[in-house]
Structure 1
C-alpha cells in the first residue's frame, strides 16, 4: 500500500491528477475535457506500456478540435455522445435545434461539448483504490440543451487493476443526456497498431444506420455478419458501429494483445457500446512523445445509450427529468493471460 498515491500536478498548462495503485498501474487525468491522458501498465518484463493515445499539451488538445474530424482523445463526451439527426429533438412538446457540427447532424455535444471544457478537480482519494472526481456545470441552453446540468465524473484505479469511470448528473429542467469516455486503447502501447490485437464483443445485434451514420431505428442481426465478434478475431481496419449490450454489468467487450499477453475487459451498465477504429484526423498532429498516430493506432469502446435515441421511441430513453439522477458506470479491467 505504500506505493498507492494521488497527487495533482501541472503538465504543460493542464492541471493533472496522477493516480497510482499498489500494482504500479498509473493514470493521468487532465482537467481539460476531464481527459484520460495516459494509462501506464507494468509488464512482467519490467517495462511499462502506455495503452491510451493522447497529446502532450493543452494547446494540442485544443488544436485537435479544429480538425475536420476531431479525435476526442481520452475525453468525457457530452451532453450527448453520438449523433443526433439534423441536430433536432423534441422534448415535452418543444423542439430543440442543436449545432450541426457533423455535416447536417449534431455530434458529441455540438460545437463545443464537454470534451472542450475546463473541468474542476473537486476530490481526490489517495488511499486504497485511489480516485479523482471532476465536476462541470453546464448552463441552461448551452449548445441549446435545456436545463442546467451538473455533472461529476470519477476515475478510480482499483487494486484489481480496473479503471472505473462513474458519471453522476442532475438537471434543473427535463433534458437529454448521453455521456461517454473516448479513449483510444492500444494494448501494445500508444505508438503501435491494433491490427494484430483480438476483439470480442458479446452482442447479438447492432444498430442499423444510414449513409450518414444516423440510426434508422432498426437493428441488424449479427449472425453471419462481418461484425460478429462473439468469437474473438482481429480488430477491423475500420468500424464506427453501436452494438447492443446483451447483459449489463457483465463483460460486453474485450481486447487482447498476443504481444504482451494483456487483456482488457469492458463492463458497463449502459445499453450500448459504440466501437470505433479509423478517422481522418491522423497524420496531422503528432501524439504524445512525438508519436505519429495513424488510423490503426487505437480502438474506442464508447459505452453509452444509442445515437439519436431521443428521436426513436423504441430506443432506451435518453431523458433525464428534473429531480432524477443520471448514473453511468463503466469498468475497463486489465489482466495478464
Structure 2
C-alpha cells in the first residue's frame, strides 16, 4: 500500500499492488477502483504494461479527464452502460437519473462508483493476493432507489497470470444493478501503437443494434454478415470502417455462461505475442474501441491516448435493461445476493 494523492476535499487515496512470481503485477487505487497498471510478460518474457491509465491521482481528477470521462480502469455502477433518457420504472415508481451522456444516463451518473472512495482491505488466500473494495451507495444516490452494499474483490492468481474480479452486492430496497470494470487493454502499449491490429474472437451469435444515441432497439440481431461477427478471429481494424463511430456495442453471450464463468473473448497482439482470454458469467460483453479518445490525455510513459489507443471488453448485463422486458433482468431485491465473476487470463503465443 502506498499513498496515491489527495482529493480536492483533502481525502487521501491509496494505491495497492498485487503480484505473483510469474511476472504479473496489478496496481489498483481505492479511488474509483481504478486499475492504474497491469504488467504481464510478452513472448520474450519481458513484462510490459497493457492498460491505459496514469501514474498519479491527478490524472484521474484533472479537468480534461473529467470532461472527456473515458473511465480508464474504473469500477462502474450503480448501472454500467446507458439508460435511455435516464428514466426507468420499478414496481410502478418512476425514477430519473442524471443525464451525463445526453440524452441518456451513462455508467451510474455524474458521480458514479468510478468517482467514489472505496474502503480497501488487502488480504490473501491459497490462490493468491486479494484486494477487497467495499462501498455503501445510499438510497437516492444519483437517483437510484435503495441503499446498496457492494464489494469488488481483485485477485491475482499465484499459479497463473490471471486477474479475477468477484462482484457481490445486496440491497435494502428494490433497485437495479449492473456492475462492470472499464479497463482499456492494449497488449503492445506504447507511443503510436493502437489496437487496430489486435485479433479478437468473441463466441457470440447475436448483438444488440442501437439507435443514434447508443440505446438498444430491443432486437437481438444475428452477427452473420455484419462487422459484429467475431466468431472467427480477425483484426479489430478490418471492419471498423463499416461501423459508424466505431465499435461501442453489446455482444450477446451464450445462455450457458450464466451458469458460471465461460470464455467470452480472446485477444491476440501479433507483435508482442501477448494474449488475453476473458471469462465471465455475465450475459453481455460491451466492445468499445476507444473511438472517443481525442489525444488530449497523456498517460504513463508520456503516451498520448488518441483514438483506438485501447479497447474495453466490459462484461455486464445489457444496456438499458430496466426499459426492456425481454432483456435479462437487472433488478436486485432485498434478500437476494448478487454475485458475478470475471477473469482476465493472460498468456503468450510463440508464432
**What is the TM-score when the length of structure 2 is the normalising length?**
0.90
Whether the aligned pair in 1 keeps the contact of 2:290 and 2:312 (CA below 8 Å) is no
The more displaced of 18-27 and 119-128 is 119-128
- Note the alpha carbon deviations across 1:272-317, whole angstroms, 9 max, x for none: 0000013334311211222111112111001000000000000000
Q: Is 1:47 aligned to 2:55, yes or no? A: no
1:129-169 alpha-carbon deviations (Å, 9 max, x no partner): 11111111111100010111111000111121111111111
1:301 aligns with 2:313: yes
- Residue matched to 1:182: 182
Secondary structure of 1:323 counterpart? coil
Matched position secondary structure for 1:218: coil
Match of 1:59 in 2: 58
Matched with 1:229 is: 230
Partner residue, 2:88: 89
Give the deviation of 1:47 after TM superposition: 2.4
Identify the range of structure 1 (226-235 vs 116-125) with the bigger mean alpha-carbon deviation. Answer: 116-125
Check 1:271–1:318 CA distance in 2 against 1; reply closer, same or farther (3 A cut).
same
Secondary structure at the counterpart of residue 66 of structure 1? helix
Deviation for aligned residue 1:126: 7.1
Q: Distance in 1 between matches of 2:26 and 2:76?
A: 19
Q: 2:168 corresponds to which residue?
A: 168
Q: 1:12 offset after TM fit, Å? A: 3.9
In structure 2, the partner of 1:244 is: 252
For residue 24 of structure 1, report the CA deviation from its aligned partner: 2.1
Q: C-alpha displacement at 1:254, in angstroms?
A: 1.0
Distance 1:140 1:302 in 2: 26
The Cα shift of 1:127 comes to 5.8
User: Aligned equivalents of 1:335 and 1:232: distance in 2?
Assistant: 17
Structure 1 gaps of 5+ residues are: 1-7
Give me the whole-angstrom Cα distance separating, in 2, the residues matched to 1:314 and 1:154.
31
Rounded Cα–Cα distance in structure 1 between residues aligned with 2:287 and 2:4: 30
Does 1:274 pair with 2:286? yes
- Residue aligning to 1:215: 216
1:75 aligns with 2:87: no
Number of residues paired by the alignment?
Answer: 329
Q: Does the 8 A contact of 2:215 with 2:320 survive in 1?
A: yes
Cα 1:281/1:299, change in 2 over 3 Å: closer
| Bigger Cα displacement from structure 2, 284-293 vs 178-187 | 284-293
In structure 1, the residue matched to 2:297 is 285
SS of residue matched to 1:209: coil
Structure 2: 5+ residue stretches without partners: 7-12, 241-245
Distance in 2, Cα, partners of 1:103 & 1:94:
23
Give the conservation status (yes or no) of the 8 Å contact 1:181–1:302.
yes
The 4+ residue runs of structure 1 with deviation greater than 6 A are none
Q: What's the offset of the Cα at 1:46?
A: 4.4
Which one of the candidate residues 301, 326, 342 is aligned to 1:330?
Answer: 342
User: Equivalents in 2 of 1:22, 1:40: separation in Å?
Assistant: 12
Q: In structure 2, how many angstroms separate the alpha carbons of the residues matched to 1:12 and 1:35? A: 14
Q: Any idea what SS the aligned residue of 1:229 has?
A: coil
1:5 corresponds in structure 2 to: none
Higher strand fraction: Structure 1 or Structure 2?
A: 1
8 Å CA contact 1:51, 1:190 repeated in 2: no
Deviates most, 186-195 or 110-119: 186-195
- Which SS does the other structure have where 2:152 is aligned? strand
Q: Say what the alpha-carbon RMSD is for the aligned residues.
A: 1.5
Contact 2:80-2:319 at 8 Å conserved across structures: yes
**3-state SS of 1:216 partner:** coil
